[in-house]
Amino acid sequence: MSFNSFGHMFRMTTFGESHGAAIGCVVDGCPPGIPLRAEDIQAHLDKRRPGQSRFTTQRREPDEVKILSGVFEDERTNGQVTTGTPIALLIGNVDQRSKDYAEIRDKFRPGHADYTYQAKYGVRDYRGGGRSSARETAARVAAGAIARKVIPGVTVRGALVQLGPHMIDRTNWDWGEVDRNPFFTPDAHAAAEWEVYLDGVRKRGSSCGAVIEVVASGVPAGWGAPIYAKLDQDIAAAMMSINAVKGVEIGLGFAAAAASGEDNADQIRMRHGKPEFLSNHAGGILGGISTGQEIVVRFAVKPTSSILANRQTVTAQGEDADISTKGRHDPCVGIRAVPVGEAMLAIVLADHFLMHRGQVG
């Protein structure tokens, strides 16, 4: 049992509040001997870092990571490697304009966790959302950077496939495009249209949701396990644990409900001496175990509730009130969820790689 840990064997424990002293995580179970420097992690954090385009919050969060433990610079080897002991990562909080948050001390912001934290604990760090802030996802991205190194043969990539009501045209899919637009979308045409759309959302102080697709290539057949350590189960848990996520699907996902058995099941043929699936409606997972195809997962992010419009709420003292969020917020928090989704999938896969190796050898 663990409230703030994730993973079976490759296990991350995160801590920290948005405006506390620091956030961070402890990664336990990492294999030894893996080259790891802070720069390796920083590269991924920078992708999630706010303020990189006008479509993400303009808060200044350098998100500089320090490795406190679990690595060692051994002069007999070529540099710093993991030692098999817990890797503690620390990310300081610097842009703590706590005065900005005086109003939310007493009012519960609709769509945020203010009310539920107060109902559960009777006390909460209200500054910037405290523990419920999406700032916690920086720790996930940091741990995900380590996870990737545990499974070097696996590539994990994410992309925005829907912004608000607008979906991409999948025939335009180009992974190379993802890093060339501020949306992490693989459809250059959509990116162009979305700029206009999201500018409108941003200017009127509104927000919109998004759907992210994350794909892992290079996963061999056999990772995952019945019945309650299913690969898709752990992926669903991983994605649903991300702030603002309201839905997760694998492969065809909800569309599978409308398909026939004939159309849905992926047929198999021998190709070059080994079994090859003729389609991938399963999203690379059957019976909770990887098929050797690409793992394909999508998750839906709701629009942030931090918007300019006045919304009805109540105060901690039990009075009706209105609230409006001014200041620097993401018009679409789903954009920055792309590297977070990648990190979570990498963490699940690293975890299952180690578990599989443990049980099966």
Q: Hey, which residues between 20 and 79 contact a second copy (CB under 8 A)?
A: 20-24, 26, 28-33, 66-70, 72, 74, 77
* 218 versus 253: smaller Cβ distance to a second copy: 253
* 55 versus 176: smaller Cβ distance to a second copy: 55
End-to-end CA distance of the chain: 27
Among 188, 218, 229, 294, binds a second copy (CB under 8 A): 229
Among 36, 191, 225, 295, binds a second copy (CB under 8 A): 225
CA angle (170 as vertex; 181, 333 as ends), nearest 5: 45
Least distance (Å) between residue 260 CB and a second copy: 5
* 176 versus 281: smaller Cβ distance to a second copy: 281
Contacts of 329 (CB under 8 A, 6+ apart): 57, 207, 304, 306, 307
Least distance (Å) between residue 53 CB and a second copy: 19
Least distance (Å) between residue 192 CB and a second copy: 20
Q: What is the footprint of a second copy within residues 149-168 (CB under 8 A)?
A: 162, 164-165
Among 35, 79, 200, 226, binds a second copy (CB under 8 A): 226
Q: What is the footprint of a second copy within residues 264-323 (CB under 8 A)?
A: 264-270, 273-275, 278, 281-283, 285-292, 300-307, 309, 311-314, 318-320
Q: What is the footprint of a second copy within residues 174-213 (CB under 8 A)?
A: 201, 206-211
Cis check: omega of the bond before 347, within 30 degrees of 0:
no
- Per DSSP, 179 falls in state G
C-alpha distance from residue 235 to each of 133, 316, 323 (Å): 21, 36, 35
Least distance (Å) between residue 46 CB and a second copy: 22
Interaction pattern, residues 103-132, with a second copy; x per rule: CB under 8 A: -----x-xxxx-xxx-xxxxxxx----xxx
C-alpha distance from residue 132 to each of 17, 19, 168, 192, 240 (Å): 8, 11, 30, 33, 14
* 44 versus 131: smaller Cβ distance to a second copy: 131
CA 177 to chain centre: 20
Rounded Cα–Cα distance for residues 238 and 345 (Å)? 7
Question: In the Cβ-directed half-sphere of 1, how many Cα atoms lie within 13 Å?
Answer: 0
Among 128, 186, 224, 339, binds a second copy (CB under 8 A): 224
Beta carbons within 10 angstroms of residue 171's beta carbon:
6
Of 342, 343, 349, give the one whose Cα is nearest residue 158.
Answer: 342
* 196 versus 360: smaller Cβ distance to a second copy: 360
Q: What is the footprint of a second copy within residues 330-359 (CB under 8 A)?
A: 334, 354-359
Among 221, 280, 294, 328, binds a second copy (CB under 8 A): 221
Contacts of 158 (CB under 8 A, 6+ apart): 178, 184, 212, 213, 214, 215, 338, 339, 341, 342, 345
Least distance (Å) between residue 167 CB and a second copy: 9
* 50 versus 283: smaller Cβ distance to a second copy: 283
Residue 247 gets the label, from left (phi > 0), alpha (psi -120 to 50) or beta, of beta
Beta carbons within 10 angstroms of residue 177's beta carbon:
19
Residues in contact with a second copy, total (CB under 8 A)? 155
Least distance (Å) between residue 10 CB and a second copy: 9
Rounded Cα–Cα distance for residues 106 and 316 (Å)? 5
Rounded Cα–Cα distance for residues 31 and 355 (Å)? 12
* 176 versus 273: smaller Cβ distance to a second copy: 273
* 176 versus 257: smaller Cβ distance to a second copy: 257
Q: With binding defined as CB under 8 A, does residue 254 bind a second copy?
A: yes
Least distance (Å) between residue 180 CB and a second copy: 23
* 45 versus 235: smaller Cβ distance to a second copy: 235
